[in-house]
Structure 1
């Protein structure tokens, strides 16, 4: 299971590899470059599922159809 993922800012395109939380969803992420605050897209549980190269650990385990944080 991947515990790191690269987030891509939807505003400026800046990318940064971050550690994915394993015990809670990350609902907000502030871009280091433009300071935009990213929030999950509709239907996603966290910013890693919306903007990351890999989804959060619960979704990696259960699959997107079952979701996370439920």
Structure 2
């Protein structure tokens, strides 16, 4: 079984800026301010957090669900 990935690259849908961030393991992150254009990102409908909507890797709780553990 592979380890949970804690790093994800968030890409702003407004300006295309990409930034690597560390995901929280104990909560979903609902808001993220783009460091380039200052747009406040929120999860898309049906997603639990900004990492699931705009990240290169889904958040740790979703990774755990996809692996069938916990």
The TM-score, its normalising length taken from structure 2, stands at 0.88
Q: In the aligned structure 1, how far is the partner of 2:8 from the partner of 2:48?
A: 15
1:2 to 5, 14, 17: 5
* Structure possessing the higher radius of gyration over alpha carbons: 2
User: Number of residues paired by the alignment?
Assistant: 63
In the alignment, what sits opposite 2:56?
53
In the alignment, what sits opposite 1:41?
44
The TM-score, its normalising length taken from structure 1, stands at 0.88
For the aligned residues, what is the CA RMSD? 0.5
Unmatched tracts of structure 1, length 5 or more: 64-70
Q: In the aligned structure 2, how far is the partner of 1:61 from the partner of 1:25?
A: 13
Report the alpha carbon displacement of residue 18 of structure 1 after superposing the two structures with TM: 0.2
